[in-house]
């Protein structure tokens, strides 16, 4: 039986050429796998036909939009996942679901190898290959651009020589990856980190400099998941799509960042994630109302590690799976309503409401009705500060008191 290779297929020039390129380099038949994670653009049936016209022996097409939103974006929302406190893991989240379908296709068609179009400088090569190893350690992996010397110039020449049904002349100056959770843009003139992004960089968001009238929205959560917007029930996918539309119209979610890649280099990236940024801001504020203090403090540490693992391609790792369990437990009472004002590039929380709230008005108020016994505060402070007081006294005894600038106490 002829060897078969499963290729992550986007329908673009490089992966279209890779079908024949892999066949010639390895002698294997190629199965193209195209996974819809909400990237928009062309009809998936057209992409399937293009793969076949470019020489694929079969094309596996999957509509994974609901799956992606529910099983990947929602865990990221519960984790408030922001790499370097800013990037909501747009590309990193989509790779595991794509790999899962590649492994399914490999088993369905009897393939022994999977292939992706990543270069040797980026994070995605790691995400694709580590995820594949985690799900199917018996599969081999090849990367035509990295391993088989498929440059863009060679791709154009190959496509023209073989008359492949793919455009070869128009070259977008940017490398773009997008899905329902957001959009990532890099390369071109953006590689000079002094250059300001121009208007043509953006697609998911309108210019926040000249915003329309402010948009007030109420997001209802149930155990950390958005279940309604302005009282209308939504699925996770519908929640993200609706907030993409409304927050995007206000210019929310534009991110320009120099980030630390897993391979050790710094890279300038421009992201648009209006829905993700607005939903994370709302979710964080609802957690402020419903999580106990020590639980919330520890969760912030877990969130950072969870985010780093996902960014580094470890979605299917044992540690990430264990952290999932902790995060899911913290969401038990994260239910209620958050009111936000979307305007001028910002998503600002203006109201919070939850039946599981830990906020007690009578304890918090300074007006009549105050139920907090302030007389207990003095004793609390004495006990709380006792260890610091004893240590300070010892320092003074041995001449190591705090220097206030005019001598030693």
Give per-residue pLDDT as tens, 1-46. 689 999 999 988 889 999 999 999 899 999 999 999 999 877 899 9
Mean pLDDT of 59-71: 97
Where does CATH 3.40.50.620 sit in the chain?
4-173
Q: What residues does 348 pair with on adjacent strands?
A: 341
Mean pLDDT of 61-69: 97
124 flagged as catalytic: yes
Mean pLDDT of 282-296: 98
Q: 112 a known binding residue?
A: no
Mean pLDDT of 107-129: 94
pLDDT for residue 406 is more than 90:
no
Mean pLDDT of 112-116: 96
Q: How many CB atoms lie within 10 A of CB 351?
A: 12
Mean pLDDT of 304-328: 98
> First and final CA of the chain: distance in angstroms?
85
Q: Residue 378: which residues within 8 A CB-CB, separation 6 or more?
A: none
pLDDT for residue 113 is more than 70:
yes
pLDDT for residue 390 is more than 80:
yes
> CATH for 4-173, among 3.80.10.10, 3.40.109.10, 3.40.50.620, 3.40.50.2300?
3.40.50.620
239-283: pLDDT as tens digits? 999 999 999 999 999 999 999 999 899 999 999 999 999 999 999
pLDDT for residue 172 is more than 70:
no
Q: Name the catalytic one among 95, 246, 254, 268.
A: 95
Angle at 382 between CA 379 and CA 387, to 5 degrees: 145
CA distance 4 to 114: 9
Q: Name the catalytic one among 53, 134, 147, 175.
A: 175
- Predicted pLDDT at 363: 80
Q: 275 a known binding residue?
A: no
Q: Residue 147: which residues within 8 A CB-CB, separation 6 or more?
A: none
Q: 271 a known binding residue?
A: yes
Q: 322 a known binding residue?
A: no
| 187 φ, ψ (degrees, to nearest 5) | 65, -170
Strand, coil or helix: what is 134? helix
- Predicted pLDDT at 169: 56
Mean pLDDT of 284-300: 98
Where does CATH 3.90.1260.10 sit in the chain?
176-353
Asked if residue 18 lies in contact with residue 26, where contact means CB atoms within 8 angstroms, the answer is: no
pLDDT for residue 133 is more than 70:
yes
What is the DSSP secondary structure assignment for residue 13, as one 8-state letter? Answer: H
CA distance 355 to 337: 10
- Predicted pLDDT at 321: 98
Question: What is the gyration radius of the CA atoms in the chain, in angstroms?
Answer: 26
pLDDT for residue 156 is more than 60:
yes
Q: Name the catalytic one among 124, 183, 267, 268.
A: 124
Q: Name the catalytic one among 4, 14, 36, 91.
A: 14
Mean pLDDT of 383-396: 94
Q: What is the pTM of this model?
A: 0.93
Q: 15 a known binding residue?
A: yes
Q: 129 a known binding residue?
A: no
Which pLDDT band, with edges at 50, 70 and 90, does 171 fall under?
A: low
- Predicted pLDDT at 209: 93
Topology of domain 176-353, per CATH? Answer: 3.90.1260
């Amino acid at each position: 039986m002829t060897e078969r290779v499963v290729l992550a297929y986007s329908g673009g020039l490089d992966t279209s050429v890779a079908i024949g390129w892999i066949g010639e380099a390895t002698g294997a038949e190629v199965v193209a796998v195209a996974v819809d994670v909400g990237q928009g653009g062309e009809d998936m049936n057209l992409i399937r036909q293009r793969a076949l016209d470019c020489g694929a022996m079969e094309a596996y097409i999957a509509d994974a939009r609901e799956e992606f939103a529910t099983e990947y974006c929602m865990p990221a929302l519960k984790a408030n996942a922001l790499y370097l406190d800013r990037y909501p893991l747009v590309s990193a989240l989509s790779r595991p679901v794509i790999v899962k379908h590649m492994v399914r296709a490999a088993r369905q068609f009897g393939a022994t190898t999977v292939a992706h179009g990543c270069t040797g400088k980026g994070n995605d090569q790691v995400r694709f290959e580590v995820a594949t190893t985690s799900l199917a350690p018996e599969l081999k992996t090849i990367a035509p651009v990295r391993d088989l010397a498929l440059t863009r110039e060679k791709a154009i020449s190959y496509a023209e020589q073989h008359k492949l049904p793919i455009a070869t002349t128009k070259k977008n100056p940017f490398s773009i990856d997008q899905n329902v959770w957001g959009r990532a843009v890099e390369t071109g003139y953006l590689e000079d980190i002094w250059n300001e992004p121009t208007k043509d960089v953006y697609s998911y968001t309108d210019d926040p400099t000249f915003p329309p009238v402010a948009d007030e929205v109420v997001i209802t959560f149930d155990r950390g998941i958005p279940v309604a917007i302005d009282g209308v029930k939504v699925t996770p996918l519908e929640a993200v799509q609706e907030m993409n539309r409304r927050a995007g119209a206000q210019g929310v979610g534009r991110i320009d960042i120099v980030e630390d890649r897993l391979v050790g280099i710094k890279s300038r990236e421009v992201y648009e994630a209006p829905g993700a940024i607005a939903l994370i801001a709302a979710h964080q504020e609802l957690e402020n109302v419903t999580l106990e203090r020590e639980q919330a403090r520890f969760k912030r540490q877990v969130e950072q590690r969870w985010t780093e693992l996902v960014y580094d391609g470890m979605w299917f790792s044992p540690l990430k799976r264990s952290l999932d369990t902790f995060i899911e437990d913290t969401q038990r009472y994260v239910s209620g309503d958050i009111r936000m004002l979307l305007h001028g590039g910002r998503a600002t929380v203006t109201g919070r409401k939850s039946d599981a709230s830990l906020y007690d008005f009578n304890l918090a108020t300074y007006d009549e009705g105050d139920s907090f016994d302030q007389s207990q505060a003095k004793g609390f402070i004495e006990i709380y500060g006792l260890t610091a007081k004893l240590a300070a006294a010892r320092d003074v005894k041995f001449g190591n008191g705090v220097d206030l600038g005019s001598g030693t106490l």
